[in-house]
Amino acid sequence: MTTHNPGLFIAFEGGDGAGKSTQAAELASALESRGLKVLRTREPGGTPIGEKLRSLVLDHGHGHIDAHTEALIFAASRAAHASQVIRPALERGEVVLTDRYIDSSVAYQGAGRDLGTDAVRNINEWATSGLQPDLTVLLDVDPEVGRRRRTAGDAAEDRLESEADEFHARIRTAFLALAADRPERYLVLPAHLPVEKLALRILERVEPLLALPRGVRA
Ligand SMILES: Nc1ncnc2c1ncn2[C@@H]1O[C@H](COP(=O)(O)OP(=O)(O)OP(=O)(O)O)[C@@H](O)[C@H]1O
Ligand SMILES: [Mg+2]
């Protein structure tokens, strides 16, 4: 399902350290400077219950979390996020920028944890009542570059970030497969480009979407 509402829904996806948060911030300020109302949000999280679920699933110290449980926690957080935050903002006509969405679950739990990409997609489509981004910006990062970036300055890695490079390589392949499946809904960019260059490419792709009237993006 697509967004039959006046807002615009954009997801930033990619491996850990790809530059998602950096580019979401860049796009938010570019759009805000044009007078648009922008809601920046993230997953897991984005709601009070979602932030609690985020710390359950990402923090170390909760013992072993089996793969199905992990997938369902992410889906539960996303259900709250879609219904309480994203849909209402789209209905108000806002631009919603989310740092991660369904594709992250398909890649991390479906491919990374080997639960199967179709199964994970299905539970998430159910959880969100089919709410899909108008555009997904996929920042394609080499797992080694991602790890170097996120551990710069000795930052600690969370439960998923600290998985082996081979896990992150499977995730990268899964993201690229999702984009190849529906190229008209994706902008895939090499994450190693300079921040400003990426920001410009993203803005160029988003601009025409802002001009489209309600319903035409469906
Ligand atoms: N294009 C870029 N070139 C070089 N460094 C970058 C680039 N984009 C972001 N960085 C740096 O890499 C680090 C990770 O960036 P950022 O936090 O935006 O990634 P992320 O995808 O949101 O990561 P995470 O998955 O951990 O949330 C930051 O220190 C950021 O300044
Ligand atoms: Mg981030």
Chunk the chain into consecutive blocks of 10 residues (it has 218) and report each block's average pLDDT, rounded to whole numbers: 75 97 98 96 93 92 93 97 97 97 98 97 98 98 91 83 90 98 98 98 97 52
CA distance 127 to 91: 19
What pLDDT does residue 165 have?
Answer: 87
159 lines ligand 1 (CB under 6 A): no
Please give the distance, rounded to the nearest whole angstrom, from the Cα atom of residue 163 to the centre of ligand 2.
Answer: 17
CA distance 100 to 15: 10
CA distance 87 to 64: 33
Q: Which residue has the tokens 């639960």?
A: 115
45 lines ligand 1 (CB under 6 A): no
150 lines ligand 1 (CB under 6 A): yes
151 lines ligand 1 (CB under 6 A): no
Residue nearest to atom 13 of ligand 1 (CA): 149
What pLDDT does residue 190 have?
Answer: 98
Q: Which residues contact 208 (CB under 8 A, 6 or more apart)?
A: none
Question: Shortest CA distance to 81 belongs to which of 101, 66, 64, 62?
Answer: 101
What pLDDT does residue 214 have?
Answer: 47
Q: How many CA atoms lie within 13 A of 115 on its CB side?
A: 20
Q: 12-210 has which fold?
A: Rossmann fold (3.40.50)
CB 140 within 8 Å of CB 172? yes
17 lines ligand 1 (CB under 6 A): yes
**Burial (CB count within 10 angstroms: exposed 0-12, middle 13-18, buried 19+), residue 200:** middle
Residue nearest to atom 16 of ligand 1 (CA): 19
> Which amino acid would we find at residue 162?
S
What pLDDT does residue 4 have?
Answer: 59
On average, the pLDDT of the chain sits at 93
CA distance 102 to 124: 6
Backbone angles phi, psi at 206, to 5 degrees: -80, -35
Sign of the four-CA dihedral 130, 133, 134, 136? negative
Domain ranges of the chain: 12-210
What pLDDT does residue 201 have?
Answer: 98
Token readout for 209 is 């979407």
What pLDDT does residue 62 have?
Answer: 87
